[in-house]
Structure 1
Amino acid sequence: MTKGPPAIQGQVPKAGLFTPSSGIKGNGGASVPRGPVPTRPLPQPHPKDEDTLVQMAEHIPAGFRTPMCAHCNMVIRGPFLVALGKSWHKEEFNCTHCRKSLADIGFVEEQGTVYCEHCYEDFLAPTCSRCQDKILGEVINALKQTWHVHCFLCATCQQPIRNNTFHLEEGEPYCEQDFYSMFGTSCHGCEFPVEAGDKFLEALGYTWHDNCFVCAVCCTTLEGQTFFSKKDKPLCKKHAHTLKI
């Protein structure tokens, strides 16, 4: 029968445990420079883009109704467009920057202002830290950078972390499951991981949750108590000499 040394107590620090934030937005108050926009093909949506910001105006035929134009506040007589919950003369629904007509092409709304995809991509859309492409859909904000949802991946399983909690190890993000399987410590009592924020004990050469370090016979907590051990199992003073263990 051996008398065990005092258990060393601690608490797993929460540093390294993160939760990314997400949103569907551009750069907010970023200014749009004046000048011509280079002519180039329309950007094609990434096949994995989610919740894209790009919208299309709806064409309404003449005679359906006579609404007011959101741009000039005049009655529209004839065909018109519906976009952003408002009605527009076809010739007055244009990109705020380059003035290109948005009647038949995709557009993006930013703080009440509309832009063609070219201008939004050039001047407002954030850049993905992984692929360096512009983000025209949901944005993941993590590690002081912006990412496509499908580009912010666990370093091990390569699956998108999305808005789930992740851990950082040597600058690389890991989902919780892979982090604990690779770097985590399991409690010798319950065999579950000792997670960030958990109180733990170091005793008998193992790590224990503070509430898992109990007498193997009566389950009395041994935290802060003198204990004995038999076959690597902790015992209280009362059961130190028990025969069945």
Structure 2
Amino acid sequence: MKGNSSTSVLRGPVPARPVPQPHPKDEDTLVQMAEHIPAGMRTPMCAHCNMVIRGPFLVAMGKSWHKDEFNCAHCHTSLADIGFVEEKGSVYCEHCYEEFFAPTCSRCQAKILGEVINALKQAWHIYCFMCAACQQPIRNNTFHLEDGEPYCEQDFYSLFGTGCHGCEFPIEAGDKFLEALGYTWHDTCFVCAVCCSSLEGQTFFSKKDKPLCKKHAHTVKI
């Protein structure tokens, strides 16, 4: 009986790539708040007008600002007491950032003000990019596609994976495998049941679904 020696690769894993965002207030939002500093001995320079600040001032993005000069770069709304978002060195109110810069989540269609998951050529909230089976966020973990739907590794192999007949462990993406005796095997697991010599690409025999090399095919009882 001739061995069926074939090397192939299963469906490849697709890494989700989280895009790091600048200076988030916490892990879910980019919105920051300026810190109010009272007047004192310190006389910093304003990042907007480059003049010395005498009196109370704001601190944001590691710089100091006159209170009346820390404004949205687009609509010029004062950002002294409301949240702001930094984008390419400029500051914007939440409304202008959402309108001009924030990507739209492919799942919920809302604007994304926090960490972005770029996957399947689309943008997602980290909590909206979920496994199609368990509905848990995939975040930056490896996932697999089946019929266009993302699955976490555990559910993918549970639902669609193939187990090796030799070691009974899953044949994962990137593993070399072959099919013989009606089963699927890791290439390193398809060996003679007696001497464990590799049978990949070799003539082999079988007894009771056990592969045997030519040497042991007629000399050993199984």
Alpha-carbon distance in 2 for matches of 1:63, 1:176: 57
Task: Indicate yes or no: 2:13 matched with 1:17.
Answer: yes
Query: CA offset at residue 50 of structure 1?
Result: 3.0
Match of 2:153 in 1: 176
CA–CA separation in structure 2 for the residues paired with 1:221 and 1:93: 72
Residue 184 of structure 1, CA deviation = 1.2
CA drift of 1:180 comes to: 1.1
Contact 1:24–1:138 (CA under 8 A) maintained in structure 2: yes
How far apart are the structure 2 equivalents of 1:195 and 1:235?
25
Task: Tell me how large the CA RMSD over aligned residues is.
Answer: 1.6
Aligned length: 219
- Structure 1 residues 177-197: Cα deviation after superposition (integer angstroms, max 9, x where no partner): 111111111110011111222
Aligned partner of residue 52 in structure 1, secondary structure:
coil
Q: CA deviation at 1:241?
A: 2.6
Alignment-mate amino acid for residue 19 of structure 1? P
**Counterpart amino acid of 2:2?**
P
Name the CA distance, whole Å, in 1 between partners of 2:112 and 2:41: 37
The TM-score with structure 2 as length reference comes to 0.94
In 2, Cα distance between equivalents of 1:208 and 1:196: 14
1:110 maps to which of 76, 87, 105: 87
Deviations 1:188-210 (A, max 9, x none): 00111112222211110001111
Spell out, residue by residue over 1:103-138, the C-alpha distance to the aligned partner (whole angstroms, 9 max, x if none).
000000001000011110121100100111111010
- Within 1, Cα distance between the matches of 2:73 and 2:127? 30
The answer for the alignment partner of 1:203 in structure 2 is: 180
Q: Is 1:83 equivalent to 2:80 in the alignment? A: no
- Per-residue deviation at 1:78? 0.4
Length-normalised TM-score, structure 1: 0.85
* Secondary structure, aligned partner of 1:151: coil
Q: Which amino acid in 2 is paired with 1:202? A: E
* Residue 170 of structure 2: aligned partner: 193
Structure 1: gaps (5+ residues)? 27-48
Give the 3-state SS of the residue equivalent to 1:197 in structure 2: coil
Partner-residue secondary structure (3-state), 2:58: strand
Please give the alpha-carbon distance, in whole angstroms, between the structure 2 residues aligned to 1:127 and 1:242: 68
Q: Structure 2 CA distance, aligned partners of 1:92 and 1:64?
A: 21
2:141 matches 1:144:
no
4+ long deviations beyond 4 Å: none
Q: Is the 8 A contact 2:31 2:84 kept in 1?
A: yes
Residue in structure 1 matched with residue 208 of structure 2 by the alignment? 231
